[in-house]
Chains A and B, each alone.
Chain A
Amino acid sequence: MAEDGSIGEGPIIRVSTSGKNRIRGREVLHAAREPTASIPIVEVGPTGIRELEPLILATYQGETAFYPQCSLMRVRDLVVALDDGSLPTKGAMAVTEHDPDTATLPTPDEGTFALGHRRVLDRSGWVVPANTHDYVASEDFLAATAADRADEWLSTLQDVSLRGRGRGDGACDTPVVDAWSTVQTVRDERESEPVVVVNANEADPNAEMDRLLLESNPLAVLDAALAVARIIGATNLLVYLNENEDLARDRVNEAAAELTNKVGADIPIEAIAGPNEYKAGEMTMAIEALEGNHRLEARLRPPFPTEEGLYGRPTLIHTPRTLAQIRSLFANGGDTIGTGSDPGTRLVTVVGDIETPLTLELPTDETLSVVKQAVDLDGRPKAACVGGVFGGVTRSLDVPIHMNALTAANLGTNGVVELFGQNRCMLSVVGNRASFAEKENCGRCFPCRGGTQQLASMLRDIYDGAFDAEKIRELLGTMRRSSICQFGQDAQRPVATAMNEFESEFRAHAEGYCPNDVCIQT
């Protein structure tokens, strides 16, 4: 391994894979090291575009060639050629020119890499994850100076009003600075010791954003988390992971050790894995898991975790996505992009009726329609579910991806866009979500446990001819308004939005046929 990292002027081969393709990536890495060559060969994290993996980035004198889905034979040839002092470009999907010692991924001007704006993903797939040499190649650790610059940070955040990202964030869609000041106030009033929790347990397999950040650039996330911890005077920093995500966990452990060595061990950083269950990502169930409860259920609120969280201590919960935005904001000296009300970028994983999911980074003033350029879909998509499992169903992707626009369109903000082809049956799509909710909820409150049961059963009754839209809407409203946590509040959204957009399809099923011949064969 390159102890000194990958950033430098010499020739180098990078092998980029995500945890999903790690075995194949390891084979390619092994093959690349077979020829006797003097050039460094390093394993880097994913770029977000999974269909290219294992992706080889061959760099020679300020030029990088991109080789997607690289075969073992080709990678051996590449190594030999590079060692001989030339950069073969035949068969490369792109060749880019850049500063010889650039610390960020030199993206091609065309194709998927050119979509959006790689601001928090700038180093993903380029730097050696958890390598501090690579991390500080162009900037210093934020955490090193954070405590001295606390006032400056807080006033910048007041001006910029950055919002939390993701359903597991304690400040989801609300200004992070509000959460920070609550924690600080409680700390002073009660003389208690705050905790920072990095909530990276997103068990929705479609939501790749947090996993991508931890696999490709874990230091950025942990550096920001440590900086925040120092600013709010926290005494513990916990990283809450998914038990199934080994690569993310390894990289977090490595990065935590590096950060402790380089920046200081004043705040212990611990990585703790929680169950691979959708509900376990909810902020209070994350706290329950961290406290070691064998059974997870949502806690009442208010007071929120910022006032009374882990072991009763004021607890700031941020997702890796939020922390990456924080890092990007301060690494750029307080400059940001996107809309004023919800500045920065959003990571969006595009899934559904496409071959391989991919993750894009879009400034918040762009519209969702960009995702159509990124994927190969037969014709126009019929609809999309925006915001994850419990997102909203829409026919139009002409919606800006800032919080206000998404919320106004009754779409979710959890960063997954699922595209559906013309032959999808929307009743079966949302019916499956309702039964997922029926099985996976924690069971604590009636609007969620009983509500999802009744909802799933009323949707099944449509097949028997009983479709009572008013009765379903009445239940959906109660679930949204009176469930304890986000699980129940959001679980109604796919049905609520699909019924608005596709009510005739629902009626058709009650009359005995499925317009798409999916669930009732005619």
Chain B
Amino acid sequence: MDSDPIWDDAHDTTGTEPIWKKSRRVREGQVEINAVLATGTATDPDVTSDETTTITVDGQSITLEPSSTVLDGVAEADTNESVPALCSYQKDDRIGPRSACRTCMVESDEYGLIPSCSFPAREGMDIQTDTPTASETRDVNLDLVLGGHNLLCTTCGKNGRCELQEVSIENEVEHPRYGVVHDNEELEPIDESSPFIQIDRNKCILCNRCVEACNDVQVAGVLRMEGQAGDMRIGFQNGAETMMGSTCISCGHCVTVCPTGALVEQNLVEAATLPVPGFTHSNSVGKTMGEEYTSRPRRMTPMYTEEHTEAEPKIDEQTDSIWQYSDNE
């Protein structure tokens, strides 16, 4: 590409490189290393307000600090209808809003139907949660989320502490319009390779929280979004097929932010399941991958172990572990 005359001739008035050579933007306050992480997700603009605003939600006047979205107001108000805002994560402002599930849609007087989780609070907005359109749109979108989810709650380690389950119960979903994924042929194998974290993509709602926790909070650069349309999935930035083949440092942050049973701590996989003999989470899906790693408990991911030098502790041949503690200790 360097031989292209236009690019060669093109010169920036500031004397820097042409625009296409610049690395991806780093937002103010973000860690600079982000620029080299390939998360596969869009660089969203700042969707929060610039100044203090007062908005009305279902008739209640609410004053919001700068850097607020409409959802902040909705959360503070006693709303007429429940607004699930399933994929939003308000505990850490470095995560989200992703605005993928669109179960946060509310009606505004000026802008019509808006996604409250990712719409800046603007002075004087009048928000209603209970118009028929807003209500129907949230319901349909929640069912669309369920339509792509493997709803085997009884064998799921997140049973009882799952945000999707909670929201579905709260919204009285009994029969999701579009059904759920239950055909074993359609299910993706469970990734059992890591001794710490299990991935069941059949339960993933692609909220992107784990990708952001991994990249924007931990700056570990392991997880990414890949594929498009129906093939979209959580993958690994080094292109590995399994968690064990990735550069995961097993910090576990992804697990703590996951709203469903897609990412679960290995020891808790069966913690909340109903005790039906012979019926487990793994065999309910049918296939697992990463079994070749299961005989090497507590082994670190290869990308990190391979980087050790001679001065560092050797891998124990029995356990493949650089730290020689065992389950007995």
Contact = CB atoms under 8 A, between A and B. Distances in A.
Interface of A: 195, 235-236, 238, 253, 256-257, 260, 265-272, 279, 284-285, 288, 290-303, 307-308, 310-312, 438-447, 449-454, 471, 474-475, 477-478, 481-484
A481 B113 contact: yes
Contact of B42 (A257, A310, A444): A444
Given A268-B10, A295-B225, A308-B45, A453 B230 contact: yes
B294 interface: no
A491 B42 CA distance: 21
A73 B40 CA distance: 55
A482 B113 contact: yes
Contacts of B136: 474, 477-478
B19 A236 contact: yes
Given A294-B40, A481-B137, A450 B148 contact: yes
Interface residues of B, number: 59
B45 A303 contact: yes
Given A303-B47, A446-B141, A447-B140, 17 more contacts: A253-B4, A257-B6, A265-B9, A300-B45, A311-B22, A312-B45, A439-B230, A443-B231, A445-B100, A447-B102, A447-B141, A447-B144, A453-B148, A474-B136, A481-B113, A481-B133, A484-B102
B20 A293 contact: no
Nearest to A253: B6
A475 B140 CA distance: 7
A233 to B, nearest CB: 12
Interface stretch (B114-122, B188-196, B281-289, B303-311): B114-122
Interface in B111-166: 112-113, 115, 118-120, 133, 136-137, 140-141, 144-145, 147-148
B229 A440 contact: yes
B95 interface: no
Contacts of B272: none
The 5 A-B residue pairs whose C-beta atoms are closest, nearest first, are A443-B232, A450-B144, A308-B45, A268-B10, A295-B40
Nearest to B87: A446
B230 A271 contact: no
A446 to B, nearest CB: 5
Contacts of B12: 235-236, 268
Contacts of A295: 40-41, 225-226, 228
Interface in B162-177: 177
Given A442-B228, A443-B232, A449-B229, A482 B115 contact: yes
24 contacts: A235-B13, A236-B19, A253-B5, A268-B18, A269-B6, A270-B6, A270-B7, A298-B42, A307-B45, A438-B230, A439-B230, A444-B42, A445-B102, A446-B102, A447-B102, A450-B148, A453-B147, A453-B230, A477-B133, A477-B136, A478-B136, A481-B137, A482-B141, A483-B102
B144 A300 contact: no
Contacts of A441: 228-229
Nearest to B40: A295
A9 B172 CA distance: 80
B137 A478 contact: yes
B295 interface: no
Contacts of B99: 300, 445, 484
Contacts of A307: 45
B278 interface: no
B25 interface: yes
Given A268-B18, A270-B19, A481-B105, A443 B228 contact: yes
Contacts of A452: 229
B287 to A, nearest CB: 22
Contacts of A475: 140
Contacts of B100: 444-446
B229 A482 contact: no
Contact of B229 (A267, A290, A443): A443
A269 B43 contact: no
A256 B6 contact: yes
A267 B10 CA distance: 9
B144 A299 contact: no
B11 interface: yes
A372 to B, nearest CB: 36
Contacts of A298: 42
A285 B44 CA distance: 11
B109 to A, nearest CB: 16
Contacts of A253: 4-6
B261 to A, nearest CB: 18
B101 interface: yes
B10 A300 contact: no
A484 B118 CA distance: 10
A302 B9 contact: no
A443 to B, nearest CB: 4
Contacts of B11: 265, 268
B232 A446 contact: no
Contacts of B40: 293-295, 297
B148 to A, nearest CB: 6
A97 B301 CA distance: 78
Nearest to B113: A481
A453 B42 CA distance: 22
Q: Which of B27, B45, B136 has the most CB of A within 10 A?
A: B45
A279 B228 CA distance: 11
B216 to A, nearest CB: 16
A449 B229 CA distance: 6
B42 to A, nearest CB: 5
Contacts of B13: 235, 266-268
